Structure 1
């Protein structure tokens, strides 16, 4: 049995912590606010950006899994100290640092995204994400820590209730048979990463030495457009066909005057106006986790929302975008 420290208990952190418990490991979860007790998980109330305090909690851990993410509009200010603290704790304790990242660091690209692309994002959030991994990778190359990053596209699935493009904007109206409005072009291909597959990939690379020192993409089913996703979800829910409308850029600009979240979405609108496709073939060639078949993803997601997402949302928290 290994001991894992999981930072954050949003959708990704919660799914990962619970999976590790199922696999027979000891798990400590670090959050600022704490959580209700549940079997196998020790909840620790702590600001994970406090390196000294985090180092104390991580003593004896085999790995630190960094799944915490500040609110979307505070990434630039809050994510760097959080990433620095995780690196410091990994160096002080010898625990492997497993970072949950995303695809923002690449910026707009032509063709499928692969892990060997340069992290050349010009947007603020993309630069912050890229810098967090580059710091960890440098320390790894210097022999000071052991680190690996797992990158996912937009989350969807059971437990994703806020921030995710399909969760907050699409599923609630879809389940009521109402039209949905989404960012950008509703017909360009987009990769959607299933949350349980994120958790399984994080758990797998944490214990696989050959994975360390580089980034990997989570296995993800072939890209589908927003319209195709809505059609599949509505068919499963029995509420289709559902009209799908793209939000014009002007609407996003006006909304951003009043909403910090909408202001932040302007930076990544390119992800929904051009193909945004992830290639996870290197991971699949090296490890065992595979993307869950899409029909199973859709059924589990619709079932979860129908079985009482409002109550589950409070427990699951928010982590639509890693």
Structure 2
């Protein structure tokens, strides 16, 4: 891979992918709608070319993909745009890859799996989504897999890390940096997974460099599970013992959503992930790549807080 393109480069995972690719000597086209945000993130990065464009515009996208070896699709649309835009944008990306002979590496979540039933989610499980968004993600994955392009799909749990602003952990840390109490979405005692974006990007790029990784879906789990209480202890260690969490259960979330606007209302149906253990199995990935180093939560949270402080 000599040249890659990251669609959604201004988002949390997109940013991590650009920086991981650059660290490996790959030339990168950073593609996103806002040029100012791209400049803010990648100013001074000689191997990064900034392209402001709309993935919903087939012509803009196809032009930007010229000369690209691998497209990394990390675009994160707001929930209220999924119904209208998710599948057309996916088709645009497939078409652009086909026309330019590029491979595709897709950043995906776990919504298409549906409820875990208390089991760790494996790649060979039948996907049985029960939510509108899960059904859309399932169709999206099928579109990619049925296309003629070499592709791989990476399923990730919730993200956290530098520039990962549209995440539950960022919401909590943002509150705690301003005041004594912060809201943690989910009960205090449920095992959860959060993957540090730098770790996720490293594994995904490693997969994209291997020809035999294409044609597969890959679960990329976090370093370990963590509860709200565990997270609270770590936060107290970094921000002070006076910091406290309050826990936002699904009924509370639904109540807030009534007055918080359409974006939050669209997130209500996804709260099953926070209300029961929904954990990825990494067995297939470990067999393929061997054991990989992951960032402990303590260090990842410390680095995330440091990044957030610099932005204020």
TM-score, normalised relative to structure 2: 0.90
Alignment partners' CA distance in 2, 1:125 and 1:255: 17
Corresponding residue SS for 1:145: coil
Aligned residues: 303
Q: CA shift at 1:251, angstroms? A: 5.3
Residue of structure 2 in register with 1:138 after alignment: 146
Q: Which residue of 1 aligns with 2:123?
A: 115
Instruction: Provide the rounded CA distance (Å) in 2 between the counterparts of 1:240 and 1:189.
Output: 24
Specify the alignment match of 1:105 in structure 2: 112
Does structure 2 retain, via aligned residues, the 8 Å contact 1:55–1:89? yes
Q: Would you say the 8 A contact 2:186–2:247 is kept in 1?
A: no
Change (3 A) 1:240 1:138: farther
Q: Which residue of 2 aligns with 1:15?
A: 16
Corresponding residue number in structure 1 for 2:134: 126
Unaligned runs of 5+ in 1: 311-322
User: What residue is the counterpart of 1:46 in the other structure?
Assistant: 53
8 Å CA contact 2:180–2:242 kept in 1: the answer is: no
Query: Aligned partners of 2:101 and 2:191: how far apart in 1?
Result: 41
Where in structure 2 are there 5+ consecutive unaligned residues? none
2:188, 2:82 → 1: CA distance? Answer: 27
Aligned partner of residue 236 in structure 1, secondary structure: helix
Q: 1:60 and 2:67 equivalent? A: yes
- Pick from 144, 164, 189 the counterpart of residue 191 of structure 2: 189
CA-CA distance at 1:259 after TM superposition: 1.2
Query: Are 2:28 and 1:27 aligned?
Result: yes
Q: Quick one: structure 1 residues 173 and 46, their matched pair in 2 at CA, closer, same or farther if it must change by over 3 Å?
A: closer
Q: Distance in 1 between matches of 2:52 and 2:301?
A: 34
- RMSD of aligned alpha carbons: 1.9
- Shift in Å at residue 70 of structure 1? 1.4
Partner of 2:2: 2
Q: Give the alignment of 1:1-322 within 5 angstroms.
A: 2-9=2-9, 10-34=11-35, 35-36=38-39, 37-39=43-45, 40-110=47-117, 111-139=119-147, 144-161=148-165, 163-168=166-171, 170-176=172-178, 178-240=180-242, 242-247=244-249, 249-250=251-252, 252-253=254-255, 255-287=257-289, 289-306=292-309, 308-310=310-312
- Tell me if the contact between 1:66 and 1:100 (Cα under 8 Å) persists in the aligned partners: yes
Deviation, structure 1 residue 257: 4.5
- Structure 2 CA distance for aligned equivalents of residues 257 and 153 of structure 1: 27
Distance 1:179 1:51, change over 3 A: same
> Shift in Å at residue 62 of structure 1?
0.9
TM-score by length of 1: 0.87
SS of the residue 1:119 aligns to? coil
